[in-house]
Amino acid sequence: MRKPILIILCILCLGAQGCATYMYHGSIDAMDSAGKERHFILYWSKTDGLLWPAKAGPASLLTECGNPVIFVERPEGIVFRGTPGQDAPVGTPATMTQPEIPCGSFIGETKFVAFDEGPVMLRISCEPVTDEFAVQPRRYLQARPEPYRFDIISTKEWSLFGKDPVAPDPPPCRQP
Amino acid sequence: MPVDPLKEREILVVHGVQTSSDAQLNQDQLIKTLIENRIGSIPLRFATRLYRYENINDDALRKYKLLLNLLAINPVGKVVADNVLEMAGDVVIALRNSSTAAKIRAGLKAAILDIFQREAPCYIVAHSLGSIYTFDVLNRLMRDDQYFDRASRRSWPVQGLITIGSPIGLDMFRVRGRKSVASLGEGHKWFRWHNYYDLTDPVVSGKIFGQQLQGYIIAETYLKQSLKQGWVIRDRQVDTGKGWLMAHVAYWENPIVGDGLVDMITN
């Protein structure tokens, strides 16, 4: 009598770990901060569990021959928080004296979990700074007043125990 | 002994609570694989090392283990008792600030200074309880006048810190000596600390059933208004694709953690 109950409990426990994993991604060709035509990939993941609410993000913007940039969810929206000594708003000195530098954002989007497929408008307002510890000149999407448009699609996978998100590979560097 | 930015970078990995012995730990290999998967075409020479301290913990817990083995009534009970004692014991050792904890911190400091002696840029990835030991050692080094001249990163034994699944936000760890970070003073160089956490990780939240965290700040509670502090602290909530305890051990393969790590160690 106890055995079937135990089996049912085990199945319920396993089922509680089950979830759907989504990978959102989109890409564009555009100018990088050094003025070269490059390929850029934007991606993030979302996990929707059977027993817990969905969780998602952050997003990573991959740059051909350049550096990844992370966009995180904050009370003010989905933003790229620049680091002093590594990122600077266009037209300002490279050695900023504040730890918080707004460098980019998703326009109109505030929650990763609320997003479905479609366009993401993304703005970049900083340029990278290279110092003696950089192994190559830092590069990412060129800053400009107009937003960039990424058409985001998603893939979905079910898993009983959860699954490591499978991200797109960094774009190959065609010309350094 | 200034750091040479052109030398091979060394990523020192500090593990967390374990139930195995030092010889079985391989988190340095996991981080090596993660970097290799996410580095793309960036020309980086790097090596990963693991600071192992589980045998120090095990030695300290041996007498309790013997006692439990005597009390355990069957083989299954013995295995469960062993694992529970190992995990809980590791945490208690860290909390009690005992001589064992001091030994672990001394070993970690020696590992960092060994890399510094070789003039290699060092970056630390610390998981779970390892982040507590790392926080302590790092801040003590910063308070030592020999290191961390804010004007030059060449005097820094550690160039950046990544914590994953850290319990640093829990009240039990916010004790004397860990309530603030050491200030770097005047200057324009910034020390980076990126803290990655999954919303359902019970070690981060202290919520045993994995209820989601609310709010956005854990490590960032250490930020001060003063520019003399010199730290850039970032909390990054990351979706590991897994829930509850599985989330706590899923950071090692997460591509976002990998991308953030690549960006840190290449700069």
Confidence of residue B93 (pLDDT cuts 50, 70, 90): low
What pLDDT is recorded for position A9? 66
The enclosing domain of B251 has a CATH number of: 3.40.50.1820
B57 in a structural domain = yes
A128 close contact with B: CB closer than 8 A: no
Q: Which residues of chain A have pLDDT under 50?
A: none
Burial B226-243 (b: 16+ CB within 10 A, else e): ebebbbbbbbbbbbbbbb
Q: Determine how β-strand A101-106 pairs with β-strand A118-124.
A: antiparallel
* pLDDT beyond 90 at B162: yes
Considering chain A, what is the average pLDDT of its residues?
A: 91
Q: Give A-chain residues touching B237 at CB under 8 angstroms.
A: 55, 57-58, 72-73
Kindly compute the dihedral angle of the four CA atoms of residues B82, B83, B87, B88, in this order, to the nearest 10 degrees.
Answer: -50
Mutate to test the interface with A, among B8, B37, B41, B257 (most CBs of A within 10 A): B41
> Measured between alpha carbons, how far is residue B21 from residues A74, B59, B95 in Å?
40, 11, 21
> Measured between alpha carbons, how far is residue B174 from residues A152, B95, B131, B135, B145 in Å?
42, 10, 13, 11, 25
* Nearest residue to B255 (alpha-carbon basis) of A171, A43, A157, A104: A43
Confidence of residue B87 (pLDDT cuts 50, 70, 90): low
B85 in a structural domain = yes
Residue numbers of the domain that contains B173: 9-265
Q: Give B-chain residues touching A58 at CB under 8 angstroms.
A: 236-238, 256
B96 in a structural domain = yes
CB B56, CB B107: distance < 8 Å? yes
Instruction: Find the mean pLDDT for residues B3-9.
Output: 98
B149 in a structural domain = yes
Q: Distance (Å, rounded) from C-alpha B239 to C-alpha B235?
A: 13
Confidence of residue B254 (pLDDT cuts 50, 70, 90): very high
What pLDDT is recorded for position B18? 78
Other residues' Cβ atoms within 10 Å of the Cβ of residue B170: 14
B93 in a structural domain = yes
Half-sphere CA count of A171, side-chain side, radius 13 A: 26
What pLDDT is recorded for position A40? 98
The per-residue pLDDT for range B171-186, each reduced to its tens digit, is 999 887 899 999 999 9
Q: Give A-chain residues touching B253 at CB under 8 angstroms.
A: 164
Other residues' Cβ atoms within 10 Å of the Cβ of residue A7: 10
B126 in a structural domain = yes
What pLDDT is recorded for position A135? 97
Instruction: Find the mean pLDDT for residues B242-248.
Output: 90
> Measured between alpha carbons, how far is residue A121 from residues A55, A146, B175 in Å?
21, 9, 44
What pLDDT is recorded for position B1? 74
The per-residue pLDDT for range B183-213, each reduced to its tens digit, is 999 999 999 999 999 999 999 998 877 677 7
Q: Determine how β-strand B46-51 pairs with β-strand A148-159.
A: unpaired
Are A52 and B243 inside 8 Å of each other by CB?
yes
Q: Is the ipTM of this complex over 0.90?
A: yes
The per-residue pLDDT for range B21-75, each reduced to its tens digit, is 888 899 999 999 999 999 999 999 999 999 999 888 777 666 666 666 666 656 6
What pLDDT is recorded for position B78? 61
**Backbone phi, psi, residue B25, to 5°:** -85, 140
Q: Distance (Å, rounded) from C-alpha B109 to C-alpha B134?
A: 9
Considering chain B, what is the average pLDDT of its residues?
A: 89
B4 in a structural domain = no
| Angle, helices B255-265/B27-38, rounded to nearest 10 degrees | 80
**What is the percent of chain B where pLDDT is above 90?**
69
For the entire predicted model, the pTM comes to: 0.91
What pLDDT is recorded for position B70? 63
Q: Distance (Å, rounded) from C-alpha A143 to C-alpha A89?
A: 9
What pLDDT is recorded for position B46? 98
Between positions 14 and 53 of A, the ones with CB within 8 A of B are: 17, 19, 21, 44-47, 49, 51-53
Q: How many domains does chain B have?
A: 1
B1 in a structural domain = no
